Structure 1
Amino acid sequence: MFLFSVPRHTYKVANNWHQVPDNVESASGCRALVWRTRWGHGIPNGTESSLTLEEHLVTSSRAMNPNDEPQDADYSYIPLFSDEVALLIIARIPRSDHPKLCCINTRYLTLIESGELSKIRRENRQIEASVIMLASGEHHCWEYSPHFESWRKLPVLPCEPSFYDGDKESFSVGYSLLISGRENGLSSVWRYEFLTNSWHRGPSMITSRCLFASANCGDVAYVAGGLMNKTILDSAEQYDPVDKSWKPLPNMRRRRQRCSGCFMDNKFYVIGGMDDDKILTCGEFYDREKRTWHLIPGMFNAMSSSISQSPPFLAVVDNELYALEPTSSRLKVYLKISNSWKDLGVVPVRTNYTRGWGVAFKSLGDRLIILGAVGNSEDNQSQGISIFTCRPDPNATDCQWDFHGRTGNSIGSFIFICSIMMA
């Protein structure tokens, strides 16, 4: 199913679409656009009954300002409604329409860019999730929406060709997707902004790293550990999507690379990985309030691992931690009280012959999503990558997986950059 989407850099006045200059991205640029939208074009008489929300706000603004002096209609989000009610209404607007909200007035722009609307949506469980994937040989990512079962091509990533060749890590927070890799031998970070449908370079992390753990922690994102040149790191950082900056966090209790992260119980967990040639079975979490790390010995004991294996597959649904074991293709749920794992059956994709590489496993709102090949290695070229989701139950003995289709790419030519956008 294909969805009709409004091209970026357009806005609507009096039921006509107008082109927005390509350089309009910053807050000041959007404010200038709002000014032109509301004051540079007249609204014909007799169109009151079919006004859009944007047009209604414009008309209301002029009615309150008979001298027709340029003002920003910041007196209310929606006329005749209190802000409390208006925000609950606005929170139900799909995330794909948020760029249009930015063009209404500066108050809407601030509401979205500050992350306040995302916070309200999370509190009211207005969650929209999507998966970002990159096929090798292509210069653009694809966004897949399981809810609509639709695909959308993102703009071309304007990086050097060398960026596509190496390992990449990614995470999402707010309206941003960050991808970290190497470009011409140097560490590089690219940022995709969903509101403007555009790529931007940076900001770079305080410490250049690869094979690190990361997690979306609501209003911010955390990264920890990893490898810098040949040095295994115990450092950690916090990314703020509002001011687009990195801040240092206290160091972890263990150095670790090829580890994985997740957010659970309002804490940032880092699990597994390696310290030199030693495989780590311990986990640790960062307490945001106390700003301290706490070690969990033996947290990953039940999971088989090897030096050539992929980083741990972790996903959190309804505050429960799930893991995929690559050697057996089995799903497990973490039992917090006993510090152990419970088996939930075999997943529908094969992970053992690739030791986990080429497989994606993430949370998707109240579901798990997994992408991979369903047959043996000889069948992959014809079968491509299959997409499955399930609604896990930690008290069950098995999970029911729903099939959503296949991509045309084989597992040998597919690089997954799989990130979930919440709220």
Structure 2
Amino acid sequence: MESSLLTCKKKISKKCHVPRIGTSLSHFEPKKRLIVGTKPNIPDLNLELPSDSEEEEKDASDDVPKLLNELEVEIFARVSCFEYWKLQFLNKQFSQLLKSGEIFKVKRERELVKPYVLMLTSGNSRWTMVDKSFKNFRRLPEVPSDICFLYCDKETISAGTQLIVVGKEVESIVVWRYELELHKWTKGPSMITPRVMYGSASHGTDAFFAGGIKFVEKGIPKVCTEAEKYNANTKTWTMICEMHKRRKFCSGCFLRGKIYVIGGRYENGKNLTCGESYDEVKNSWTLIPNMLKDITFKSSQSPPLIAVVNDNLYLLETSSNELRVYDVNENAWKRQGVVPVKANEASGWGVAFKSIGDRLLVIGASPLPRSFIKRMAVYTCRPSPYVEEQVWEETENCYDGVELSNFIHNCCVMFA
């Protein structure tokens, strides 16, 4: 890569010394004599400043640094994120370029982003980031929080190149964010209405949070309807329209241009079968009655395990380990066979069910005999709403001797 970059630089440098088309030699030659001549080029302070048209006729060599910088960004935008951490130790200029965020901006503009899975497994205090093939991995730094945050339940989502983790410290509910460009954790900014056990969904550099449990006077928990949006570019929160129903332990997704919040429980612990969709243009929620009417619930049920692939919504029914696809027009779920993990073993807890590009991803306890239960199982499939039973493929993971538990506390997919 280094040799190809140098070759490109030489070619650009040679081209930049050729006068522009349409520029006369009378304009070009005096500049050449100033460069080659032995007399110093002392400016005459009595002369008038050049006009805008004269500025445009300056030697193209003045643009070389800008051209080289743009070329470097274009090249690095096509390199895997796992190579960035190696390159930043070789070149200080690249390290500065990485921290500027320009590389990731170009990745998004050129549609060169790739999915990366970030997960926190049982028994680990540090997050693990793996690529789509599960062949490359990297450990993130430890979150510099207190012990309460470390051991309490947390929720997570990605927005752009930021990993947002929400949990409770000793004093209050806090937000920690990991920034991929900087490879470090930063605290805040806090939510406008701090809450936990909410439904969330992301789209590009925006993340949406709705419902959950907030703490009012004297620390009394209350199920809420409030919703807000986080923007990764500005690192700010904005309140949006409230939902129709109070709900906690719900799930969210981005589907066909709208944010969906599904299921959850009411204040009295009763399971909700309705959903709601949010239209950002209208800033309004639409109630969807009986969205989960055919789904079996348990008292200790996890939030609904849902994922979107190719504008189709899929659900892992944890009581039966079945995959289902949602028919938006009929407001009904179609069965699509059994998923090869033990999602029913802990009522959906400890299982990751996500979309990763054009595939569904499920991570959990292996379906193999009892003696292999500690082994993490990773399966993917290319789902189709028109197929009765999906074909799942097991992904062989390689962590160079690093052992990860099969119980997933948190998991999300970042596109970077």
Match of 2:58 in 1: none
| Cα distance in 2 for residues equivalent to 1:239 and 1:56 | 44
Match of 2:6 among 43, 46, 51: 51
What's 1:146 paired with?
132
Alignment of 1:93-242 (within 5 A): 93-96=79-82, 103=93, 112=102, 116-121=105-110, 124=111, 126-147=112-133, 149-229=135-215, 230-242=221-233
2:283 aligned with 1:291, yes or no?
Answer: yes
Give 1:24's aligned residue: none
- Determine the structure 1 residue equivalent to 2:48: none
Cα gap change, 1:262 to 1:163, in 2 (>3 Å): same
Secondary structure (helix, strand or coil) at the match of 1:239 reads strand
Structure 2 residues without counterparts, runs of 5 or longer: 19-30, 36-40, 42-60, 216-220
Instruction: Report SS of the residue matched to 2:396.
Output: strand
Bigger Cα displacement from structure 2, 132-141 vs 169-178: 132-141
Deviation by residue 1:348-397 (Cα, 9 ceiling, x = unmatched): 001112101111100001101101112489546x5322111111111001
Partner Cα distance (2:172, 2:146) in 1:
11
CA RMSD of aligned residues (A): 3.5
Q: How far apart are the structure 1 equivalents of 2:10 and 2:229? A: 40
| Deviations 1:210-266, CA, capped at 9 Å, x for gaps | 111111112311111111132001111111101111111110111110000000111
1:331 shift after superposition: 0.4
Secondary structure of 1:117's aligned partner: helix
Q: Find the aligned partners of 1:415 and 1:343 in 2 and give their Cα distance.
A: 25
- Measured in 2, the distance between the counterparts of 1:301 and 1:110 equals 48
CA contact (8 A) 1:235 1:251 kept: yes
Aligned partners of 1:102, 1:213: CA distance in 2, in Å? 41
For residues 106 and 74 of structure 2, what CA distance do their matches in structure 1 show? 9
User: 2:412 is matched by which residue type in structure 1?
Assistant: S
Structure number, greater radius of gyration: 2
CA contact 2:313–2:326 (8 Å) conserved in 1: yes
Count of residue pairs brought into register by the alignment: 363
| TM superposition shift of 1:173 | 1.2
Post-superposition CA distance 1:43-90 (Å, at most 9, x none): xxxxx987177x6699689979989x99994467646xxxxxx99877
Alignment of 1:10-409 (within 5 A): 51=6, 73-74=65-66, 78=70, 92-96=78-82, 103=93, 112=102, 116-121=105-110, 124=111, 126-147=112-133, 149-229=135-215, 230-276=221-267, 277-375=269-367, 378-379=370-371, 382-405=373-396, 408-409=403-404
Contact 2:179–2:185 (CA<8 Å) still a contact in 1? yes
Q: Report if aligned partners of 1:77, 1:108 keep a CA contact under 8 Å in 2.
A: no
Answer yes or no: is the 8 Å Cα contact 1:236–1:249 preserved in 2: yes
Distance 1:50 1:161 in 2: 47
SS of aligned partner of 1:420 = strand
Give the drift of 1:109.
7.0
Please tell me whether the aligned partners of residues 101 and 181 of structure 2 are also in contact (alpha carbons under 8 angstroms). Answer: no
Whole-angstrom CA distance in 1 between matches of 2:245 and 2:278: 12
Tell me the distance in 2 between the aligned counterparts of 1:223 and 1:61.
52
Higher relative contact order (CA 8 A, sep 6+): 2
- Whether the 8 Å CA contact 2:16–2:64 is kept in 1: the answer is no
Unaligned runs of 5+ in 1: 1-11, 16-47, 80-85
Match of 1:3 in 2: none
Q: Is the 8 A contact 1:260 1:313 kept in 2?
A: yes
Higher helix share goes to which structure? Answer: 2
| Counterpart amino acid of residue 145 in structure 1 | D
Compute the TM-score of the two structures, normalised by the length of structure 2: 0.77
Q: Deviations over 1:18-56 (max 9, x none)?
A: xxxxxxxxxxxxxxxxxxxxxxxxxxxxxx987177x66
CA shift for structure 1 position 196:
1.4
Name the TM-score, length of structure 1 as normaliser. Answer: 0.76
Structure 1 residues 269 and 87: alpha-carbon distance in aligned structure 2, compared to 1, 3 A threshold: farther
